[in-house]
Amino acid sequence: MTSLIHPNANKIVKHKVKADQNYSRLDSFIASALDNQSRTRIKTLILQGYLSSKGETITDPSHRVKQGTIYTLTIPTLETPIPEPEDIKLEIIFEDTDLIVINKPAGLVVHPAPGNNSGTLVNALLAHCGDSLHGIGGVRRPGIVHRLDKHTSGLMVAAKNDSSHNSLSVQFSKRTINRAYQAVVWGIPRPSCGIMKGNIGRHKRNRKKMAVLQNSGKSAITKYKVIKRYSNVASLLECKLSTGRTHQIRVHMAEMGHPVIGDSIYGGAIKRGRRSRLNKQTYNYIQQLNRQALHAFKLGFKHPKTEKNVMYNSKLPIEIRRLISLLEDL
């Protein structure tokens, strides 16, 4: 085995094999120790020569690890190009010299990342706000203080200067932001209102997913209330976040056994038991929905300059209203 040098690497992690991990696959062992890297990414890094043990490079992802052995992984920087302005239409709810509130459509990625280097909300904001937005909060995520998943729609606020960025960031970190979502989920949650508490962290087997974890992860609290029932098939919920973890509502609803309709990652696709309760028209519509039925409809915060409490609302997008109309006819 030969040693390979990667000078552009920016992070080195070391992990020692425990007794219960003895003879595990190398890629599985490393992936289980890292929360922010998928197993596919780990496998690629191993194949490219970024992993070593006892001074020798190991390039076999299926290599069996041994108890007490220390493995060192060098994680190289993933360079994301600095975003450029793009003429992408925005639905602007409010705008002044300090901030902008927009209604993000489903399908729009918030900021550039590997695989999504253009066509994002950041590209649209750069075109709309001009050069003043450059550098606020970092050149790759200018103005961004929070996110919505790609296939979730709804209200977002972005800062247009450093003081607004600092103020809004503090409000999010202190959890004083008022955020509410509407979600159409499978089944009828019982009780009809409650609080879901469950730590959320990276799924142990599928590193691209999040999961409720018993002894690790970060605290996550979601308040929910059933707004309307559609037979025994589905229901419309209002969800409020006390914390803001990745995929929080989607993970918590799935953990309760009521995944968001259209959310194929967390069990919201049409399964055999659900299909029998749908008519053909509703079944076909959900199959082609191409998004999860989750919308951030309310956003409130203290304005960074005036210090007045402001609240913005957004009605459900037409594709979710159409879904509800079909469910009402069941």
Structure tokens at 148: 């919505």
* CB-based contact 295:271 (threshold 8 Å): no
* Closest to 139 in 3D by CA, of 157, 152, 126: 126
Q: Any catalytic annotation for residue 263?
A: no
Two structure tokens written together for 126: 């750069």
Residue 11 dihedral angles phi and psi, to the nearest 5°: -150, 135
Secondary structure, 3-state, 281-292: HHHHHHHCCCCC
As given in the structure block, the two tokens for residue 200 are: 């959320």
User: DSSP string of 220-277?
Assistant: -EEEEEEEEEETTTEEEEEEEESS--TTHHHHHHHHTT-PBTT-TTTT-S--HHHHTT
The dihedral built from the CA positions of residue 196, 202, 204 and 205, taken in this order, carries a sign that is positive
The alpha carbon of 189 is separated from its chain's Cα centroid by a whole number of angstroms, namely 23
CA quadruple 200, 112, 105, 150: dihedral positive or negative? negative
Q: Which of 60, 149, 162, 329 is catalytic?
A: 149
Tokens of 293: 């039925």
Residues with a catalytic annotation lie at 149
